[in-house]
Amino acid sequence: MGKFFKRIRPFYLQVLFVFLAFVIMVLVSYFYVRGMVQEQMLSYSERTIGSAEYEIKSILSQYEISLHNFAFSTEHMIKNNYSQSEILVHFKNWTEWLSSNQENFQEFSGVYGVVRGDFLDGTGWVPPDDYVPQSRPWYVGAAALNGRTYYTVPYTDVDTGEIVISLSVTIYDIDYSRAGVLAIDVNISSIVEYVSTLNMANDGYGVMLNEKMVFVMHPNSDYTGVNIVDAGNDNNYAEIGKLISNGEPVSAVVFTDTDGNKSIAYFRTLFNNWLIGIVTPLASYNRNVTQLAIVLSVLGFVLMSILSYFLIMLSIAKTRSDEASKSKSDFLATMSHEIRTPLNAVIGIAQIELEKDDTPDDHTEAFEKIFNSGNGLLGIINDILDMSKIETGKMEINPEQYDVPSLINDSVMLNIGRIGTKPIEFILNVDENLPLKLIGDELRIKQILSNLLSNAFKYTDSGFVKMTIYHSTEVGNFSLHFIIEDSGQGMKPEDKERIFSEYSRFNAMANRTTEGTGIGMSITKRLIEMMDGMILVESEYGKGSTFTVMVKQETVDCEVIGTKLAQQLKNFTFHGEGFATHTTHEQMAYGNVLVVDDVDINLYVAEGMMSQYGLNIETALSGFEAIDLVNSGKIYDVIFMDHMMPQMDGIETAKKLRDDGYNGCIVALTQTLLSETVKCFWRTVLTGSFQNPLILFNLTTS
């Protein structure tokens, strides 16, 4: 367990990020779904109240219609001078008819009213002597409404004990003077019971108010007949009453109910200006939302834990992979140095022997094979190291100003020897408008051209190999173009598709004797892409191939190559000339050189090559020895410094010499191309660099 937590410690920021992401996700989901739930609750309350309104309206409206029909017929009798006894019979007939029609008028309890000052009752009820109908609420209310229906506050009927309301309306004589008020008593016990069942939660309740905001129905009978503003010990409903008075909607209004709990209320005005409302305790209202929050939190925690676990496992796997990749890179770098050291000696000694005029012909042939084989092996090692750098993301593009004609000439010179004795014509076309100088990674461009040219020469047995170089500018971007054509074997469609795959060689059986690892083209494509470029391939099996390369470069203020220099480059046509040719050595007996390397065989090779220039050469096996020689007063025109040396490497040695005041020329000898970081540091202490193995062509041109 301890090892596990030790491993995950570096990834706590990632886990923290995942945790925060899930917290945010849960919160966003909670508030979003909470809003949806509240909208659904609002919609549900509206539907519930709407359904209640329809139900109540269907009950009361039939009585109101019947009342108005009864009033119309009674007015007709009054206007036609019917007697009071005839009108009383009319009252009894209506009461009998309504009573007999129980299917539609189950809550009906009789019609009555005041006509021409006399109280008439269709049920035959005789009021007590102190009964004054003109003072009763049903009469006073209807008289004030001038023909509109008046609904009284619910009250308990003295005869039946049921909760009833009275619907009343004013009637008029022929001269439009008030002839009286007619009323119907309606038992609303069923309506009260129905309203009491309205709720959005088990502990919620429904209420009903009349147009004067008096409770017609409340689960607490003490509030029935009380104005909503005055209800409760602390005027709990006052805020709702204020909103109703101002004509504002009461939708999802939170208030403190009479039991002291926070509740939420919805009210709607009915057809007769009464109001129906639903009150729900806030805890019950939010119960679904709370449950949702718990579910989201648990689900989020579980998902976060699972994702964190997999993230940690992936991170651990990545760390292991990075460690393995680093170990691989370190191993390859170490093995590269260990392999290059004897290989450089083999190539160097072979070249020294080839430069001697008295070397026998049979020995020269053997040394040429050794030299060419050594260079081939060195190329394979370089490809493996480059692929390793690309895989680990350590490959760098190091842009510097370079000479374009030199780039072209060096690329041709390094590959023309591959023609050997093949009947191949090499054609070089150079755009005379190419700039003399550009900024880019010259060594990597040479590597790209070398891979393409070497493949063209390797897979072409006869015919031609042609390289065309030109440039283009577009929207401020300068692009360098190379086209390498050959009349060689060409490629089948399936080979063309995998030409840039790692470790892939096409037509392997036919080319089993052709040197190469199959990773050169993959490296080439990666390098081109790193330069923000592209490579296209056209090939026909048996007829040849064409590779078109574009890489972006930066321009400098300079002249163009021109016709003369372009023609000189085009005239480089070679037939069967080997690379390891004799070089003209300018004798420099006046020159003093110090070569510093910790490997004795490297000193032997360097001394053998430089001795052909007549130089005065001294060697040192360590940085310490080199510093002692310089401090002893000896003067050198050039110090060649190995980069990788034990105890004190080339960088430290060069820096120490500079710190001691040495201002002479110091040139680095490296086994591999330097990284940009090391190059930047070397620039502060070095004059230049050579890559091992030392090649006399490079020494001479430099």
Structure confidence by residue, pLDDT tens digits, 143-164: 998 888 998 877 776 666 677 8
pLDDT at position 169 is 95
Q: Is residue 21 helix, strand or coil? A: helix
Q: Is residue 178 helix, strand or coil? A: strand
Average pLDDT, the chain: 80
Q: Give the lowest-confidence range in 11-25, 385-399, 521-535, 568-582.
A: 568-582
The confidence band for 667, taking pLDDT boundaries of 50, 70 and 90, is: confident
Burial (0-12, 13-18, 19+ Cβ within 10 Å), 530: middle
Listed in sequence order, the DSSP H helices in 204-286 are: 238-245, 282-285
Higher pLDDT, 505 or 346: 346
Angle ∠(370,373,376) on CA atoms, nearest 5: 150
Q: Give the lowest-confidence range in 10-24, 206-220, 402-416.
A: 10-24
Query: How large is the average pLDDT for residues 679-684?
Result: 47
Query: How large is the average pLDDT for residues 394-406?
Result: 86
The confidence band for 620, taking pLDDT boundaries of 50, 70 and 90, is: very high
Cα–Cα dist 341/449, whole Å: 26
Cα–Cα dist 225/234, whole Å: 18
Q: What share of the chain is helix, strand, coil (3-state, %, to 5)?
A: 45, 20, 30
Q: Which stretch, 162-171, 459-468, 487-496, 689-698, has highest mean pLDDT?
A: 459-468
Query: How large is the average pLDDT for residues 360-383?
Result: 77
Cα–Cα dist 348/360, whole Å: 18
Show the 3-state SS of 648-686: CCHHHHHHHHHHCCCCCEEEEEECCCCCHHHHHHHHCCC
Higher pLDDT, 328 or 675: 328
Assign residue 152 a region (left: φ > 0; alpha: ψ between -120 and 50; beta: otherwise). beta
**In angstroms, how far apart are the furthest CA atoms of the chain?**
162
Listed in sequence order, the DSSP H helices in 466-535 are: 493-497, 520-530
Interval 684-697: pLDDT, tens: 555 555 555 444 44
Show the 3-state SS of 89-131: HHHHHHHHHHHHCCCCCCCEEEEEEEECCEEEECCCCCCCCCC
Interval 632-659: pLDDT, tens: 988 898 899 887 788 888 889 988 998 8
pLDDT at position 506 is 54
φ/ψ of 458, rounded to 5, equals -65, -40
Interval 304-352: pLDDT, tens: 778 777 777 777 777 777 777 777 667 766 766 677 778 778 888 887 8
Rg of the Cα atoms in the chain: 53
DSSP E strand boundaries for 445-510: 463-474, 477-486
Higher pLDDT, 243 or 190: 243
pLDDT at position 580 is 40
Assign residue 281 a region (left: φ > 0; alpha: ψ between -120 and 50; beta: otherwise). beta
Query: How large is the average pLDDT for residues 64-80?
Result: 92
Interval 106-116: pLDDT, tens: 566 779 999 99
Query: How large is the average pLDDT for residues 25-52?
Result: 76
With beta carbons less than 8 A apart as the criterion, state whether 250 and 269 touch.
no
Q: Omega of the bond prior to 693 within 30 degrees of 0, cis?
A: yes
pLDDT higher than 50, residue 600: yes
pLDDT at position 402 is 92
Interval 472-488: pLDDT, tens: 998 778 999 999 999 99
Question: Residue length, the chain?
Answer: 702
DSSP state of 168: E
Query: What letter represents residue 254's amino acid?
Result: V
Q: Give the lowest-confidence range in 165-174, 284-293, 348-357.
A: 284-293
Cα–Cα dist 23/27, whole Å: 6
CB neighbours of 576 closer than 8 A, spacing ≥ 6?
419, 420, 421, 422
Query: How large is the average pLDDT for residues 585-610?
Result: 85
Query: What letter represents residue 600's amino acid?
Result: D
pLDDT at position 79 is 92
pLDDT higher than 80, residue 93: yes
With beta carbons less than 8 A apart as the criterion, state whether 305 and 4 touch.
no
The confidence band for 577, taking pLDDT boundaries of 50, 70 and 90, is: very low
